[in-house]
């Protein structure tokens, strides 16, 4: 028994940590994270964007809208929204359904902004201007200084912007790198504008710094390959960096409709699902104890460990639970018990062959392992295929959710069956419990422990 005490301590620590993460059911004691619920269980936001395709040829509109869907997906994921539904609607609209209502108005606008930073220079005299702010009137900065030149903007950025901090001022720096063409334009612009301000604008608005003033650094050197934008708040810099790396929308979008969506299944369904899950687990535990007696009791303890571990993983990753996700979770519970059934049946075979109880336990696990391994690996392969298929079709997030919860459950069930239940059984060998063979099998006969 002492030999297996370290394994038992590991199991106990994992169970306590999992319980602290899971309980209470809202935000757990440890890490304070709730379980994320999908759109069908908690409702969310329904936003419709309209694309301005006035400058796009009819033959290219389909490709442009597909690109818009892809860029919006890249922008939504860093916001921490799980299982969003983003799809084209009609000829010029994009529908975005987001679980929860935690997005701010700024984030909603950001999702549909083109994310194109344009560098500008102050106009002189009566020159036409594009922007006006506290520093004056501005026009796009071009490589020749004329309206016919190439405008210096973020379309020439590489998709690798990142944040650093100025070691002297402590301000956040948004680092970017020019493409080859951007480097030529930047060299021409910064050479021409040495000692002058270079304003930065996004769409029709001025990019503002953490102090609320326009971001317009003075050009102190010729910039050819890379540069930094200084003065932004850290939240603004992070959001801007994610948007720039996610890609630029090929056309402007406008929000034409938004609404809060009620959960399709409602809170009653969540309550009933939770209740059904508890009843199901209790019934499975009762079956295991009645049919397999003491090993069934230990497997039931392993099942409680499994449920706590799975829910903790769901909170930590986090995993969004929609109806398909709950289905994957419940199915994985059945697979966790299935592994124990295979093991215990092999143990019975060994006991019928007059093996000692200790030898029967070890042989039961080793003989069942190949079947458990083959079954779970094939299931994991199927889960991988479902995740891949879900990523290639519109609305495939629910398929991915099912595959994810099932895959996590399969991995956890292997750990529970092979390590947790096995450790429990090994700790009983040599104790008084093993002297009563009736606790281990419903069959009669004398066996040695």
Q: Each residue of 66-82: pLDDT tens digit? A: 888 877 777 776 665 56
Q: How many domains does the chain have?
A: 3
In terms of domains, do 88 and 124 share one?
no
Pick from 248, 280, 298: which residue ends a domain?
248
**Residue 423, token pair as written in the block:** 């450790």
Q: Residue 399 half-sphere exposure, CB side, CA atoms within 13 Å? A: 15
**Strand stretches in 298-344, DSSP E:** 320-321
Per residue in 196-236, pLDDT (tens digit) is 888 888 777 888 877 788 888 888 888 888 888 877 778 77
- State whether 270 and 417 are in the same domain: yes
pLDDT above 70 for 101? no
The answer, yes or no, to whether the previous bond of 24 is cis (omega within 30 of 0) is yes
Residue 444 resides in a domain = no
Reply yes or no: is the peptide bond before residue 318 cis, omega within 30 of 0: yes
Q: What is the pLDDT of residues 380-415, one digit of tens each?
A: 999 999 988 877 766 677 788 888 889 999 999 888
State the average pLDDT over residues 310-324.
Answer: 85
Residues 274 and 423 in one domain: yes
Same domain, 77 and 27: no
Percent pLDDT > 90 in the chain is 10
Asked if the structure places residue 129 within a domain, the reply is yes
- Which two structure tokens, joined as six digits, stand for 202? 């996004």
Whether 445 is in a domain gets the answer: no
pTM (2 decimals)? Answer: 0.65
Does one domain contain both 348 and 314? Answer: yes
Q: What is the CATH number of the domain that holds 51?
A: 3.30.70.3220
DSSP 154-223: GGGB-S--EEEE-TTT--EEEEEEB-HHHHHHHHHHHHHTTTSB-EEEETTEEPB-TTSSB---B--S--
Q: Is residue 344 part of a domain?
A: yes
Sheet with 117-122: strands ordered across: 131-133, 136-140, 117-122, 199-202, 205-206
Do 215 and 229 touch, CB atoms closer than 8 A?
A: yes
Positive or negative CA dihedral for 227, 228, 229, 230?
negative
Mean pLDDT: which of 36-50, 257-271, 284-298 is highest? 284-298
Rounded CA-CA distance 342/284 in Å is: 15
Q: Which residues have CB under 8 Å from 127's CB, separation 6+?
A: 137, 139
pLDDT per residue over 175-195, tens digit each? 888 899 989 999 999 999 888
H or E stretch covering 136: strand 136-140
Helix-then-strand count for the chain, H and E: 11, 14
pLDDT at residue 449, as a whole number:
46
pLDDT above 50: residue 109: yes
CA distance 257 to 48: 5
Same domain, residue pair 195 and 290: no
Per-residue pLDDT reduced to its tens digit, 6-21:
888 999 999 999 999 9
Residues 6+ apart with CB under 8 A from 225: 177, 178, 183
Owning domain of residue 375: 4-38+262-439
Compute the average pLDDT of residues 25-35: 80
Looking at the structure, do residues 26 and 167 belong to the same domain, yes or no? no
The model's confidence at residue 64, banded by pLDDT at 50, 70 and 90, is: confident
Q: What is the Cα–Cα distance from 103 to 97, expressed in whole angstroms?
A: 12
State the Cα–Cα distance between residues 364 and 387, nearest whole angstrom: 34
- Top pLDDT among 167 and 267 is at 167
Give the pLDDT mean for 153-175. 83
Residues 412 and 299 in one domain: yes
Task: Name the domain boundary from 76, 92, 112.
Answer: 112
């Amino acid at each position: 028994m002492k030999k297996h005490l370290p394994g038992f301590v590991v199991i106990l620590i994992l169970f306590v940590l999992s319980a602290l993460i899971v309980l209470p059911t809202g935000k757990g004691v440890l890490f304070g994270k709730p379980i994320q619920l999908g759109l069908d269980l908690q409702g969310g936001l329904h936003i419709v964007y309209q694309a301005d395709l006035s400058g796009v040829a009819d033959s290219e509109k389909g490709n442009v809208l597909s690109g818009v869907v892809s860029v919006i997906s890249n922008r939504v994921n860093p916001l921490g929204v799980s299982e969003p539904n983003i799809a084209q609607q009609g000829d010029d609209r994009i529908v975005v359904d987001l679980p929860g209502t935690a997005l701010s108005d700024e984030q909603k606008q950001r999702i549909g902004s083109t994310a194109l930073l344009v560098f500008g220079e102050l106009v002189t005299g009566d020159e036409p201007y594009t922007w006006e702010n506290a520093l004056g009137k501005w026009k796009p900065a071009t490589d020749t200084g004329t309206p016919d030149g190439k405008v210096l903007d973020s379309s020439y950025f590489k998709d690798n912007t990142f944040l650093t901090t100025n070691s002297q001022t402590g301000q956040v720096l948004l680092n970017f790198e020019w493409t080859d063409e951007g480097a030529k334009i930047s060299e021409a612009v910064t050479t021409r504008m040495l000692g002058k301000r270079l304003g930065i604008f996004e769409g029709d608005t001025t990019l503002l710094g953490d102090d609320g003033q326009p971001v317009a650094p003075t050009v102190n050197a010729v910039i050819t390959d890379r540069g930094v934008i200084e003065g932004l708040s850290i939240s603004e810099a992070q959001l801007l960096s994610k948007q720039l790396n996610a890609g630029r929308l090929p056309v402007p979008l406008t929000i034409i409709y938004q609404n809060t969506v009620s959960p399709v299944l409602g809170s009653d369904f969540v309550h009933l699902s939770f209740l059904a899950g508890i009843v199901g687990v209790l019934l499975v535990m009762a079956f295991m104890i009645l049919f397999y007696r003491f090993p069934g009791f230990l497997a039931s303890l392993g099942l409680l460990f499994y449920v706590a571990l799975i829910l903790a993983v769901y909170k930590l990753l986090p995993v969004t639970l929609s109806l398909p996700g709950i289905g994957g979770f419940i199915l994985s519970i059945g697979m966790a018990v299935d592994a124990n059934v295979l093991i215990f049946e092999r143990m019975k075979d060994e006991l019928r062959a007059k093996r000692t109880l200790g030898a029967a336990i070890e042989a039961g696990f080793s003989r069942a392992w190949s079947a458990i391994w083959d079954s779970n690996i094939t299931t994991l392969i199927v889960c991988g295929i479902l995740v891949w298929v879900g990523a290639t079709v519109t609305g495939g997030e629910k398929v991915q959710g099912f595959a994810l919860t099932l895959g996590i459950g399969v991995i956890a069930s292997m750990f529970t069956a092979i390590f947790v239940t096995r450790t429990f059984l090994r700790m009983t060998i040599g104790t008084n419990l093993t002297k009563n063979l009736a606790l281990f099998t419903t069959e009669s006969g004398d066996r040695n422990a």
